Amino acid sequence: MSTSKKIGFAITGLLMLAGLVAWGIQVKEGLVLTNMRNSYTWGLYVAGLAFFVGNAAGGLVLSSMIYLFGVTSLKPFAKIGALCAFANVTAAMLAILPDIGQPIRLYNLVLHPQWRSPLVWDIIVLNLYAALSLLYLYLLMLPDFQGPLKKIALKVDHPKEFSEKWAKRLAPYSLAAAVGIHVITAWIFATQGARDWWNSAVLAPDFVAAALASGTAIVLLVCLLTYGLKDEYTQAYRTMAIFIAVALFTHIFFMYNDFFIHYWYGATEALDVLSITFKKYALAHAFEVVAPLAGVILLLSSNVRKSAGAMMTSCFLIIAGIFVHRFLLMPGAFDRVPLTIAPLGMQNTEFSVPIASGQYEPLMNTFVTEWHYFPSGIEIAIFLGVLAYVGFLIILAIDRLPIVKIEKAQT
Amino acid sequence: MRRGMVIDLEKCIGCRSCVVACKQHNAQPAGNWWNRVVTPGSERHLTPPEKGKEYFLPIHCQHCNNAPCEKVCPVNATYTEEDGTVLVDFERCIGCRYCMAACPYGVRQFNWEDPKKATARYGYQDGYTYGHPQEFRLKGRLVYMPSRFKGVVEKCNFCVHYADKGLDPACVRGCPGNARHVGDLDDPDSRVSKMIRDKNGFTLLPEKGTKPNVYYLPPKRKEV
Amino acid sequence: MQLKRRSFLKMGLAAGAATALDMKFLRYVGDAAAARTSEGETITRSTCSPNCTGACGFNVHVSDGRISTLIQSADYPETGYNPRGCLRGLSMMNLVYGKDRVKYPLIRTGERGSGKFKKATWEEALDYTAQKLKGIMEKYGPEAVALTVQVPGTGYVHKGALVRLAGLAHWSIHHGYDQNGDLPMFWPMTFGVQTEELESLEWPNARYTMVFGSNIIQTRLPDAHNLIKAKNNGKLVVFDPDYCSTAAKADEWVPLKPDSDAAMGLGMAKVIIDRRLYDEKFLQDFTDFPILVRKDNGKRLPAKDVKALANETAGWKIPPYRSLFVIRTPKGLAILNPERLDATEAILEGEFEVELTDGSRVEVRTVFSELKEMLAEYSLEKVAALTDVPAGQIERIAVEAATNTPLHAVYGASNYQWYNGDLKGRAISLLPVLTGSIGKSGGGISTYAGQYRIRFNLKEWWSAPGGKLNWVPYLYFLQGKGKRYPQKGIKAMIGGWGNPFDQHNMANRLKDRTASGDIEFVVTFDFSMTTSCQWSDVVFPATSWYENYELTATILHPYVQLQQPAIKPMFESRTAFWVARQLAKRLNPEFEKYYYPDLDENEASQEIIEVLLKTGGFETKGITLDMLKKGPVRLHSTAPDDRQIPFWEQVQNRVPFPPRSYPAPLKATARFLRSGRIEFYKDEDLFLETGEQLPVQKETFSETEYKVDPGARKKYTLRFVTKNSLYRVHSTHSNNVWLNELQGNKPKVFLNKNDAAERNIKTGDFVEIYNNRGKTRAYAVIDPGCRRGTTIFEQGWWARYLKNESYNSLTMPWIKPLHEIYFVPGIWSPTTVWNECLVDVRRVTA
Ligand SMILES: Nc1nc2c(c(=O)[nH]1)N[C@H]1C(S)=C(S)[C@@H](COP(=O)(O)OP(=O)(O)OC[C@H]3O[C@@H](n4cnc5c(=O)[nH]c(N)nc54)[C@H](O)[C@@H]3O)O[C@H]1N2
Ligand SMILES: Nc1nc2c(c(=O)[nH]1)N[C@H]1C(S)=C(S)[C@@H](COP(=O)(O)OP(=O)(O)OC[C@H]3O[C@@H](n4cnc5c(=O)[nH]c(N)nc54)[C@H](O)[C@@H]3O)O[C@H]1N2
Ligand code: SF4
Ligand code: SF4
Ligand code: SF4
Ligand code: SF4
Ligand code: SF4
Ligand SMILES: [Mo]
């Protein structure tokens, strides 16, 4: 094992452990250790769900593109794609787990699922997607299983053809599943009539667009890390860059389209919500737009594509931008109490009705109209743990499984 | 039978007795309040938003007919009883707080920590706790318990545990303004139906389409 | 779902419904009548009775020996009283089980005020107290020990036990009514009584209701719905400088200048008189308006001085507290009978000459003519300028009120807690009197301050043979001088049911005097560790109204009720009766026999209740302890259905004013109304000297703040109005965790927008309120309803919430000399005027 891998294992391992410990403490003490409260019920964990779900997209979309649209240049990356998809979709589920107040009762999801709940659909598609990406990965690896791994290989006559055939057959489903997890995850939010920030038809397509950008950026990042810059991949990298760019532009278009329509109509609720993003979170918003834009613009330049480091930085900018975008799902929804009324005879005033925060402090207001949320140490630790899990899994898989072909060939 | 409530804002004197009755009878832990009364337009209760303009508004679960909290609940822990009462099964709830995000009225409360621990912050002597002391199951589902689990959601339950005994909710019995009434909204001759009809009853956030079973009668009304 | 609890109970009995509260299991817990539910809870009916005097019936649900829930018992026979109770009563468990509960007898070990105590046994604490008291009594005389018991009306047994002891030991005693500033001096002056009021069930019978500075929605909360009914049956107008929540509910809010109510009353009276909208018959028969007044000396003309009547006076047998005055009827001069209010046909107006016995002639005129002349000063324009209310509005309201009778005027405490509060009350009383609304269902004038009015005769229990009380107005104690102040001063304070170290004037000076040893010994009896307890030498842990037997009454409703123990006394708390008995026997073994030595405290309490009911007089006739155990019982009154309608007997049966104010004998108060009628004209020398023979408007602060410090006009430009909070009963519930949560856990001071801007203060800023007497601190709230030049502080915070600086370091025990010309404890006595106080406010860092 290379030292870089060792360092990778050590760091991600330690972070995972820290996250696990943090979760343990949180399970014991309760979600009081987070900075969420009654008026701000979702935070980093749910943002993490949306983020990882988004990242999961890239993988299978990429892989399916190879087989559906014949973008063969991407073929060497198909396995990495599937792996990233699997790692991220499972991370998404891990990210949401600590958000559950009574994790032991999760069995109720199986015993008493409520079919009208988008969360139930989401859990189903996420699991399906996880299974599908694992299956895809397996299929793609099938021809390359060697040594002890042979044991888990399906006994078929022509593994290569088998793999190709089934990869092709599964491709449309993968694409549908990838789009599906986004649409349904988006529906968790978009169906909320209570939250004007989310309650928009464009949220689902926008989720898909943003996901394609960040998901592909992740795959690109992992490819760069594993394969580095090689002439043979120039075309593939270029394709990915263009793909990311289109996805990102679409995402930004969707986002501003939505803003514009709300701004133009000028309903107070909508303006309030916009002002949270544009005033209170102005810097974060600037970052969510500028960073990925800068990232794709850089990626689109062939000069930049000559440096692995520059490309990785660009990917990182895109991913970070989308992460901030996901995080910004929350303030717009929770910074403002949804129940507002115009006081009698003061029709032009909007008044937010305070909510009991759920926290009693002898010198603090219990009833609040605003709750300034920033994740607590525990939340950050847990989130980093999940992030580390993604890294750990990818390194582990690459280390143990026949994922990176060339290296195999070289050894 | 559709159990509904009518709150007469002309009669409501903003005293918050209903808030305290609810807190007490339903054993709400420190920091949680199922019911609240506000002075619309003003950050401070009882401080008018403007000279000469003031009324009071009590808010708790609106027991929506089209309850988003119920529809989003992945495990059916939040559900609607036959009479329209929206309840939380404390044994079922997984604590995802999806329902809290979904409720437009901000009435749902979460047990961020062990309620006993939270309530200990009040500093009572000898571990005192308040509230109706017996748990209550409706058709087997645990819809009231004197001390909730950590990590579950709670909210106004229309005092099912009292309804079962033929008693009005604590907030209704505790309202010195005679401003609160419960009754059958399906029965056009019930007192509540009449009030809504004759006194222009309205609901909160009608634009959200939640179709509440809690109605308000307008303030600043003069009956002659 | 519409089942009412009571009918449900009945149904449950009939049908034996399994889930119902089964009254068959009615059983006694201890002694209290308690019902047991099928779930093993017991339900005891007791009465919430802090100093708000709401006296609301509560059902106490107890399981495992602890209060689980409290809910209004809602068992008053008239639905108009149900469900009496409020947020404070509903959260009383926070005080019963709260962290500030006094658990054991405490004896001070540290410096005074340090809050350092040792836990003592009852024996130790009682022995120590008795020994200290004996020492002080020997050294300075028994009157150097002074007792305060607040709001006796809400606890006749236990408060009485201490009064009985004070009597036996010949201590001094302060009357809470004047100490609190609750005594509205216009009452004895005008109507010869301590206070009177309509029961709230009568409010809806008024066609017109005028509220002058009484925040009923908050301070008479359980009765507020009857005010809303009154509004719907007629019209409700609220006169208040502040847009208080009662103003918010009114049909009309009149934001008058603070302390200008006298001008307002006079202005409206003038309109009513000018337009002849008054009830002439009523004025002739029930008021002093037809009485003749000498123009030369301003005195009322005694019949014995009038030549034509002097001989006739010999035939009149009248009590010494009455005088024979002269009226003119169409038949000529006549003696006004002070003992019957028969129709006199008296001529209301006129000015003429009368020949006196010495042959001289004097010019005389009727009181009504005097009044009219005085009112000439109060033209609408002038009143508008004085009150800051448009003339047209004043005129319209006056006409509306006079043409929609009965008129009910409510005159609130904050309004009369000004130096010239008596003048305001006298002026406002003109309105119900002129319109003939007195003594009628729904009509009259009422004050609802902390209610001290004793509702029946208590003598049997409150005084013991050989007892004697030395009544000393509390303000004299504060000033350390005064007519009745003991020569060697007051050296020991014994108090219960009160928290003077926060709630009373010169709270800071009181601390200084205690710290310096000028006050040598302080004993407090309370269930909460108040600021006063912190400053005491001995603290006795008291029972709450859910731990003892007590007989309570109030004025908002005419029901007598019981407090009954629902739980065992917490920790080592005991009743005041028991403490009094223990102290009595230690002070003098002879005293023990007056305290039912053979009975335990609960048996004795019940015994005393029976005695009180038996000997209470007409009001308690036929009422027994057993009846009370079943629920509230209405006291008797002279009005139909035992309604509480002031002066019903006077007006309907033409009995002279005043009715008796317990416990004072009639002769003590009747002398205030020598004519036996409602008197607006006062001719005692000091009234004449001060120009207050009739109500007038006087400039605020000119005899107080501006007089002692002319510089105050510029230096302190904000009036400091301290009013009552929804969330507290004065300082009771100051530490109630829920109620503090509901108000953001912070004390607040309310400011007008412009006043705040001038001082660069924003909502949420931490500010200091100060004058040259003291200071306190709170968080600023810009209140659009708050009037310019006024700052409002919701009083009742324990010092610990205010960085240990009480708002009552700012106020001042001003004494109006007119209040000293007679002395009847709690009835005609120097009374506190909280709002006569100037301050300024500045921003400080927390
Ligand atoms: N919640 C609660 N209720 C209580 C009490 C309590 O502490 N808390 N205390 C009880 C006791 S002991 C008392 S004495 C009563 C007192 O009860 P209230 O008589 O209602 O007295 P406040 O609430 O002090 O003030 C009433 C109003 O008088 C107004 N006011 C002040 N100055 C003037 C003036 O010059 N003119 C006019 N027109 N209005 C003026 C104030 O703005 C205020 O709105 O409340 C009793 N009830
Ligand atoms: N600046 C300013 N000061 C004011 C006023 C104002 O308007 N402005 N208002 C004044 C008025 S109107 C009043 S009435 C006074 C009231 O002042 P206080 O009479 O001192 O009233 P509280 O502060 O309520 O204190 C009552 C105490 O009695 C205790 N207590 C209650 N029930 C029982 C019982 O059953 N047994 C025993 N042993 N103790 C009991 C409570 O715990 C509490 O500590 O304040 C006056 N002070
Ligand atoms: S108890 Fe009744 S009057 Fe008081 S705030 Fe609640 S609804 Fe209004
Ligand atoms: S008010 Fe909120 S919690 Fe209650 S039923 Fe409606 S959506 Fe659900
Ligand atoms: S928190 Fe509980 S009640 Fe709410 S949606 Fe989740 S499981 Fe349902
Ligand atoms: S019905 Fe019961 S639970 Fe709901 S607000 Fe009233 S008291 Fe609270
Ligand atoms: S605090 Fe006063 S008004 Fe409230 S319940 Fe008790 S007695 Fe009644
Ligand atoms: Mo008072």
What is the residue range of B157's domain?
Answer: 3-217
pLDDT band with cut points at 50, 70 and 90 for residue C195: very high
Q: Give bridge partners of residue A336 from the DSSP assignment.
A: none
Closest listed ligand to the CA of C54: 7
**C379-396: average pLDDT:** 98
Q: Say if B112 is an interface residue toward chain A (CB within 8 Å).
A: yes
Is residue B114's pLDDT more than 90? yes
* C740 contacts on A by Cβ (under 8 Å): 362
DSSP state at residue C43:
E
pLDDT in tens, C314-347: 999 999 999 999 999 999 999 999 999 999 999 9
Residue C475, judged by CB atoms within 10 A of its CB (0-12, 13-18, 19+), counts as buried
* Interchain CB contacts (distance < 8 Å): B and C: 178
| C669, two tokens | 């108060």
pLDDT > 70: percent of chain B: 100
pLDDT band with cut points at 50, 70 and 90 for residue A60: confident
pLDDT band with cut points at 50, 70 and 90 for residue C35: confident
- Our mutation pick for probing the ligand 4 site, out of B34, B152, B155, B205, counting the most ligand atoms within 8 A of Cβ, is B155
Between C621 and A336, name the one with better pLDDT.
C621
Is residue C44's pLDDT more than 70? yes
Q: Say if A367 is an interface residue toward chain B (CB within 8 Å).
A: yes
Question: In this structure, how many other beta carbons lie within 10 angstroms of the beta carbon of residue C143?
Answer: 24
Does residue B138 sit in helix, strand or coil? strand
Four-residue CA torsion sign, A107, A110, A113, A115? positive
Q: What is the CATH number of the domain that holds B104?
A: 3.30.70.20
| Per-residue pLDDT at C17 | 35
Chain A 50-109, residues with CB within 8 Å of chain B CB atoms: 99-103, 105-106, 108-109
User: Would residue B123 count as lying in a domain?
Assistant: yes
pLDDT in tens, C727-783: 999 999 999 999 999 999 999 999 999 999 999 999 999 999 999 999 999 999 999
All chains having 3 or more CB pairs closer than 8 angstroms to chain A: B, C
DSSP state at residue A276:
I
**Nearest CA among A367, A89, C675, C427 for reference residue B44:** A367
Pairing relationship of beta strands C470-471 and C172-175 according to DSSP bridges: parallel
pLDDT in tens, A204-240: 999 999 999 999 999 999 999 988 888 888 889 999 9
Q: Say if C741 is an interface residue toward chain A (CB within 8 Å).
A: yes
Is residue B77's pLDDT more than 50? yes
Pairing relationship of beta strands C32-36 and C470-471 according to DSSP bridges: unpaired
* C742 contacts on A by Cβ (under 8 Å): 366-367
CA distance B69 to chain A (A): 10
Four-residue CA torsion sign, C398, C402, C405, C410? positive
Q: Does C744 contact A362 at a Cβ distance shorter than 8 Å?
A: no
Residues 6+ apart with CB under 8 A from A325: A210, A288
CA-nearest residue for atom 6, ligand 4, is B64
* C744 contacts on B by Cβ (under 8 Å): 44
CA distance B53 to chain A (A): 7
**Nearest CA among A226, A184, A202 for reference residue A89:** A184
- Our mutation pick for probing the ligand 1 site, out of C221, C720, C723, counting the most ligand atoms within 8 A of Cβ, is C723
pLDDT band with cut points at 50, 70 and 90 for residue A4: confident
The size of chain B, in residues, is 224
Distance separating the N- and C-terminal Cα atoms of chain A: 13
**Average pLDDT taken over every residue of chain C:** 93
Q: How many A from CA of B169 to the centre of ligand 5?
A: 24
| Per-residue pLDDT at A406 | 52
**Average pLDDT taken over every residue of chain B:** 96
Residues 6+ apart with CB under 8 A from C753: C782, C784
Is residue C5's pLDDT more than 70? no
Per DSSP, the residues of C90-156 read HTTHHHHSSTTB--S-EEE-SSTTS--EEE--HHHHHHHHHHHHHHHHHHH-GGGEEEEE--GGG-T
- Name all residues whose Cβ lies below 6 A of ligand 3: B 7, 12-18, 37, 56, 58, 175, 177, 179-180
| Per-residue pLDDT at C751 | 97
**Nearest CA among B158, B129, B156, B160 for reference residue B142:** B160
User: Would residue B49 count as lying in a domain?
Assistant: yes
* Phi, psi (rounded to 5 degrees) for A304: -60, -40
* A367 contacts on B by Cβ (under 8 Å): 33, 36
| Per-residue pLDDT at C27 | 36
Inter-axis angle of helices C261-274 and C391-403, nearest 10: 60
pLDDT > 90: percent of chain C: 91
Contact C135, C586 (CB under 8 A): no
Q: Say if C764 is an interface residue toward chain A (CB within 8 Å).
A: no
* Phi, psi (rounded to 5 degrees) for C539: -120, 125
Chain B 144-183, residues with CB within 8 Å of chain C CB atoms: 146, 163-168, 170, 173-179, 182-183
CA atoms within 13 A on the CB side of B197: 10
Is residue C75's pLDDT more than 80? yes
pLDDT in tens, C522-538: 999 999 999 999 999 99
pLDDT band with cut points at 50, 70 and 90 for residue C153: confident
Q: Say if C744 is an interface residue toward chain A (CB within 8 Å).
A: yes
User: Would residue B212 count as lying in a domain?
Assistant: yes
Is residue C678's pLDDT more than 50? yes
Q: Say if A151 is an interface residue toward chain B (CB within 8 Å).
A: no
Is residue C590's pLDDT more than 70? yes
Four-residue CA torsion sign, C223, C225, C230, C235? positive
Q: How many A from CA of C450 to the centre of ligand 8?
A: 4
**Separation between Cα atoms, residue C88 and residue B16, nearest integer Å:** 10
Q: Which of A263-267, C707-711, C792-796 has the lowest mean pLDDT?
A: A263-267
Between A46 and C2, name the one with better pLDDT.
A46
The residue behind tokens 């009350």 is C425
Closest listed ligand to the CA of B91: 5
Q: How many A from CA of B71 to the centre of ligand 5?
A: 10
Is residue A367's pLDDT more than 60? yes
Between A152 and A278, name the one with better pLDDT.
A278
Q: Does B168 contact C5 at a Cβ distance shorter than 8 Å?
A: yes
Contact C747, C779 (CB under 8 A): yes
| C769, two tokens | 């309120």
| Per-residue pLDDT at A411 | 37
Mutation target to probe the B interface, by most B beta carbons within 10 A, among A31, A41, A191 is A41
**Separation between Cα atoms, residue C355 and residue C297, nearest integer Å:** 15
Pairing relationship of beta strands B109-110 and B153-154 according to DSSP bridges: antiparallel
**Separation between Cα atoms, residue C268 and residue A378, nearest integer Å:** 69
Per DSSP, the residues of C619-673 read GGTT--HHHHHHS-EEPP-SSGGG---TTHHHHHH-PPSPPP-BTS-HHHHHGGG
**Nearest CA among C826, C505, C724 for reference residue C53:** C724
Tally of helices (H runs) and strands (E runs) in chain C: 33, 32
| Per-residue pLDDT at C9 | 40
**C623-651: average pLDDT:** 96
C66: nearest CB among B24, B128, B166: B128
Q: How many A from CA of C215 to the centre of ligand 1?
A: 5
- Our mutation pick for probing the ligand 6 site, out of B7, B36, B156, counting the most ligand atoms within 8 A of Cβ, is B156
Q: Say if C38 is an interface residue toward chain A (CB within 8 Å).
A: no
Residue A43, judged by CB atoms within 10 A of its CB (0-12, 13-18, 19+), counts as buried
**Nearest CA among C172, C463, B77, C199 for reference residue A100:** B77
**B79-99: average pLDDT:** 97
pTM: 0.95
Per DSSP, the residues of C384-442 read HHHHTS-HHHHHHHHHHHHHSPSEEEEE-HHHH-STTHHHHHHHHHHHHHHTT-TTSTT
Mutation target to probe the C interface, by most C beta carbons within 10 A, among B5, B6, B16, B19 is B16
Q: Say if B29 is an interface residue toward chain C (CB within 8 Å).
A: no
| Per-residue pLDDT at C8 | 39
**A60-68: average pLDDT:** 83
Closest listed ligand to the CA of C536: 2
Q: Give bridge partners of residue C235 from the DSSP assignment.
A: C208
**Nearest CA among C817, C693, C696, C660 for reference residue C189:** C693
pLDDT in tens, C103-113: 999 999 999 99
Is residue C4's pLDDT more than 60? no
| Per-residue pLDDT at B224 | 59
User: Would residue B224 count as lying in a domain?
Assistant: no
**B120-148: average pLDDT:** 95
Alpha helices, DSSP H only, in C288-352?
307-313
Contact A101, B94 (CB under 8 A): yes
* B103 contacts on A by Cβ (under 8 Å): 194
B54: nearest CB among C20, C248, C742: C248
**Nearest CA among A162, A141, A135, A165 for reference residue A153:** A141
Q: Does A367 contact C744 at a Cβ distance shorter than 8 Å?
A: yes
* C747 contacts on B by Cβ (under 8 Å): none
* A364 contacts on C by Cβ (under 8 Å): 745
User: For residue A174, which amino acid is it?
Assistant: S
Q: How many A from CA of B130 to the centre of ligand 6?
A: 15
Contact C730, C503 (CB under 8 A): yes
Does residue A192 sit in helix, strand or coil? coil
| Per-residue pLDDT at B4 | 97
CA distance A124 to chain C (A): 42
* Interchain CB contacts (distance < 8 Å): A and B: 192
Q: How many domains does chain B have?
A: 1
Structural domains in chain A, CATH included, are 3-335+370-400 (1.20.1630.10), 336-369 (no CATH)
- Our mutation pick for probing the ligand 6 site, out of B35, B36, B85, B88, counting the most ligand atoms within 8 A of Cβ, is B35
DSSP state at residue C752:
-
Q: How many A from CA of A277 to the centre of ligand 4?
A: 27
Q: Give bridge partners of residue C210 from the DSSP assignment.
A: C237, C409
